[in-house]
Amino acid sequence: MVGVSDRKQFRDLVAPDVAHDAIASLDLAPEPETVPLAAARGRVLADRIDADLDVPGFDRASVDGYAVQGRDTFGADEAEPVELDLAGIVHAGVEPDVEVGAGEAVEISTGAVLPDGADAVVMVERTEELGPTDAERPESIAVRNAVAPGDNVMLAGTDIAAGARALGPGTRLTPREIGLLSALGYDEVPVRGRPTIGIVSTGDELVRPGETLHSERGQIYDVNSYTIAAGVEEAGGEAELYPHAGDDYAEMERLLLEAADECDLVLSSGSTSASAVDVIYRVVEERGELLLHGVAVKPGKPMLVGELGDSAYVGLPGYPVSALTIFRTFVAPAIREAAALPEPQTATVRGRMAVRERYAEGRLRLMPAGLVTDADGETLVYPVDKGSGATTSLVEADGVVAVDPDTEYLGEGEAVEVQLFSPDVRAPTLLVVGEDDPALSRLLDRVDNPRFLPVGSREGLRRLGNGVPDAAVVAGPVDRDVETVDLGGWTREWGLVVPDGNPDDVGGLADLADRDVAFVNRGRDAGIRASLDAAVEELAAERDASRRELTDAIRGYGVGTKGFESPARAVARGDADAGLGLRATAAKLGLGFVSLGRERVRVRVNPDRHGKPGVEELAAALDAASDVFAALDGYDAA
């Protein structure tokens, strides 16, 4: 019999934060892996996913009505409608076999491909069928509402633009992200590996459930193995149960070393106290490294942290309540971090409205809402709505706010409750809006859990002025009276993207105006569009012409795309002779490039958020971004 004097006492008890640090120092993270999309729910992306195609991949009608040439409807109203000849019909899912000419209209369904020649859609409610009453189809329609080019049309790439940042590394894949990846055509994705956790229970008194229990011998069922395994799975790990080990040193050593050879982390429960028969700490000392033995916490004082071979090791107390308490407090966070999973949250969050939101339609509204924290960590809630057909609305929103039918508006600062889409949702550490840019995508990869909304430079500045985002990325000569802090930026070369070899010998803006060149522009909110507008103004001044005369002469100038790669991809497909874009995009797609100059891109920050951790992370990434700019053609630090 071993006397009291022969028993080793606990080593110096360490404070809980020391135990946290010791476990954090262990390497639990496995290598990334690629999994089928069908098996990706709950996994965490290992790499950034960029859109490799436009969604939708075609210009489509967003309402039921008639596809027309917008200029044919100018001046139309209830008193003086415009009559257009019907040239055919286009259904959703069918390739158009008709072209819209001047003075013509084509009946079109929501979601159908916009036929050639058309640039707008008139809602069916704003029209009237004309022609013989005994005919199967009318011969013409009366249009009672004028439409401009682009009205009621979802342009290719409006939902998701090719080349745009779709999802960043560290994104937890919930059903909404799976939907986005499906829309982009991904059938497999790179994800962070799940740490494998080997679980070994010790103690002669334990019996596995399902086996015969002899209570007269003091036996009890093994509770810890299954309890801890469930906790491992909940935390994002993969549990591997090993055979039960008694208090025999040799058998315990064999099982622990086997588990260490096959797993990222070995967990044992029991045999961690200082009695002579609790020998597990000796195995760790002799076959690995014991980092600590004993933590000043109740329950759960007998705790071990160490290393066995290439695996991490943590010994939990034997009592089930103590084991689970220690696991949840110290081990589960380390497993979640290795699996890149966020801390769990409740399914609802209370916050304050970041902006005033009007609503007076007399119906219950489930308002998609995003979350952002202010400099003090208080949750702010802002509305997210890109339209019912936009997949990305789901990704940008964290949940919904139920707005009562009698509510006319939600006031700025008003307390609201957000019903989260998933208990795993957490507010982004950084909310950035503004100009979509390949350098920005790479910088955001270096920030933990950011969210970026590509709304363009003009809209980005407007939203920054409203106080919702943390920062706005602004390119070109775009400005408004908004108080900001300049975080830094870069310059990029912009111009005309043309086919490889520039077969049409496009030399600059003058050729767009003077020759029959099909041109694809960017939307008005884009900073690069502002640079182009300024260049057009200069050319107009040189020619003593008006800006309107020049833009009217450039085919395609008036309708712009959302995505920064969309014009270049139209050129690559052969749908255009030139497109507004970046040298970096032309190089990426193997296209030619005609430089029109360089423009500054600045990261401007809400002054009240300058000290926010996410903003500081972005500032650090910007300060160390020389490799990002070196990897992109036409980019330089500024």
Lowest mean pLDDT among 111-125, 313-327, 616-630: 313-327
pLDDT at 67 over 70: yes
Task: Give the up-direction half-sphere exposure of residue 368: CA atoms within 13 A in the CB hemisphere.
Answer: 15
Confidence of residue 3 (pLDDT cuts 50, 70, 90): very low
Confidence band for 2, pLDDT divided at 50, 70 and 90: very low
CA distance 181 to 166: 8
Say what the alpha-carbon torsion angle 19, 20, 25, 26 is, to the nearest 10 degrees: 80
Cβ contacts of residue 338 below 8 Å, gap of 6+? 28, 29, 30, 195, 236, 237, 264
- Integer Cα distance of 92 and 395 in angstroms: 26
Residue 278: the pLDDT is 57
pLDDT confidence tier of residue 276, bands split at 50, 70 and 90: very low
Asked whether residue 398 falls in the same domain as residue 280, the answer is no
43-57, 340-354, 591-605: range with lowest mean pLDDT: 340-354
Please tell me whether residue 445 adopts helix, strand or coil conformation. coil
* pLDDT of res. 5: 33
Q: Which of 338, 356, 373 is the last residue of a domain?
A: 338
Mean pLDDT lowest among 77-81, 213-217, 223-227, 328-332: 213-217
Q: Give every strand in the sheet of 120-123, ordered side by side.
A: 120-123, 65-68, 104-108, 82-90, 140-143, 127-130
Judge whether 436 lies within some domain.
Answer: no
Banded pLDDT at 225 (limits 50, 70, 90): confident
Mean pLDDT of 207-222: 70
Looking at the structure, tell me whether residues 323 and 466 fall in a common domain: no
CA 397, 401, 402, 404 torsion: positive or negative?
A: negative
Structure tokens at 596: 């029109």
Query: Residues 457, 560: one domain?
Result: yes
pLDDT of residue 104: 96
Are 484 and 553 within one domain? Answer: yes
Beta strands 304-308 and 288-293 are antiparallel
Cβ atoms within 10 Å of 586's Cβ, excluding its own? 27
User: Tokens 């966020």 — which residue?
Assistant: 342
Query: Looking at the structure, do residues 317 and 459 belong to the same domain, yes or no?
Result: no
- pLDDT at 272 exceeding the cut of 70: no
Give yes or no: residues 560 and 630 share one domain: yes
Prior bond of 317 cis (ω within 30°): no
- Alpha-carbon distance values, 549 to 166, 216, 512, 536, 552 (Å): 38, 100, 13, 10, 5
Query: Which has the closest alpha carbon to 394: 184, 180, 188, 191?
Result: 180
Q: Residue 29: pLDDT band by 50, 70, 90 thresholds?
A: confident
Assigned domain for 435 exists: no
- Encoded tokens for 439: 């350098």
Q: What residues contact residue 115 under an 8 Å CB cut-off, 6+ apart?
A: 67, 88, 90, 96, 98, 99, 100, 106, 108
Q: What is the pLDDT of residues 397-416, one digit of tens each?
A: 888 888 887 888 899 999 99
Distance CA 305, CA 315 (A): 6
pLDDT for residue 312 is more than 80: yes
Looking at residue 227, what is its pLDDT?
84
- Asked if 177 and 207 sit in the same domain, the reply is no
**Helical spans, DSSP H, in 524-582:** 527-542, 547-553, 566-573
**Token couple for 98:** 């008709």
Mean pLDDT score across all residues of the chain: 88
Q: What is the pLDDT of residue 204?
A: 66
H helix and E strand count, the chain: 17, 36
pLDDT tier at 12 (50, 70, 90 boundaries)? low
- Euclidean distance between CA atoms 450 and 456, whole angstroms: 17
Any idea what the CATH number is for the domain that residue 114 is in?
Answer: 2.170.190.11
CATH number for the domain including 173?
3.90.105.10
In a domain, 105, yes or no: yes
Of 582 and 43, the structure prediction assigns the larger pLDDT to 582
- pLDDT one-digit tens code per residue, 227-268: 899 889 988 899 999 887 766 778 888 889 999 999 999 998
* Per-residue model confidence (pLDDT) at position 321: 67
Read off the pLDDT band of 301 (50, 70, 90). Answer: confident
CATH code: domain of residue 385 = 2.40.340.10
Query: Does residue 119 share a domain with residue 19?
Result: no
CATH of the domain at 9: 3.40.980.10
Whether residue 495 sits in one domain with residue 592: yes
Phi-psi map region of 297: left, alpha, beta (phi>0 left; psi -120 to 50 alpha):
beta
In this structure, of 47-51, 97-101, 131-135, 350-354, the range with the lowest mean pLDDT score is 131-135
What pLDDT band is residue 300 in, cutting at 50, 70 and 90?
A: low
Q: What is the CATH number of the domain that holds 517?
A: 3.40.190.290
Listed residue (97, 79, 75) closest to 88, CA to CA: 97
End-to-end CA distance of the chain: 76
Q: Give the C-alpha separation, 333 to 195, whole Å.
A: 12
Q: How confident is the model at residue 389 (pLDDT cuts 50, 70, 90)?
A: very low
Between residues 168 and 217, which one has the greater pLDDT? 168
Could you tell me the pLDDT band of residue 134, with boundaries at 50, 70 and 90? low
**Higher-scoring residue by pLDDT: 422, 503:** 503
Domain that holds residue 187: 33-55+159-191
Q: Which two tokens stand for residue 209?
A: 């459930």
Answer for the pair 490, 475: CB distance below 8 angstroms, yes or no.
no
In a domain, 166, yes or no: yes
**Sequence-ordered strand ranges (E) for 91-225:** 104-108, 120-123, 127-130, 140-143, 153-154, 165-167, 188-191, 196-201, 206-207, 220-221
pLDDT at 15: 80
Q: Predicted confidence band at 281 (pLDDT cuts at 50, 70, 90)?
A: confident
Domain count, the chain: 5
In a domain, 180, yes or no: yes
Tell me what the mean pLDDT of segment 524-550 comes to: 95
Please give the pLDDT value at position 299: 63
Average pLDDT score over residue span 296-313: 83
Give the type of residue at 459.
E
Within a domain: 434: no
Together in a domain, 514 and 549: yes
Does the pLDDT at position 154 exceed 80? yes
pLDDT for 135:
55
Place of tokens 């423009």: 599
- At 386 the pLDDT is 53
Is 448 part of a structural domain of the chain? no
Percent of the chain residues topping a pLDDT of 90: 61
Q: Does 443 map to a domain? A: no
Q: Looking at per-residue confidence, does 425 or 68 come out higher?
A: 68
pLDDT above 90 (res 324): no
Burial class (CB in 10 A: 0-12, 13-18, 19+), 3: exposed
Higher pLDDT, 499 or 236: 499
Which of the four pLDDT bands, split at 50, 70 and 90, describes residue 493? very high
**376 and 230 share a domain?**
no
Helix ranges, 224-369 (H): 224-234, 249-262, 280-287, 320-326, 332-338
Same domain for 257 and 222, yes or no, is yes
Q: What is the pLDDT of residue 215?
A: 73
**Token output for 604:** 């401007």
253, 260, 156, 238: which is closest to 192 by C-alpha? 238
pLDDT in tens, 552-598: 999 999 989 988 999 999 999 999 999 999 999 999 999 999 999 99
- Range with the lowest mean pLDDT among 79-83, 122-126, 388-392? 388-392
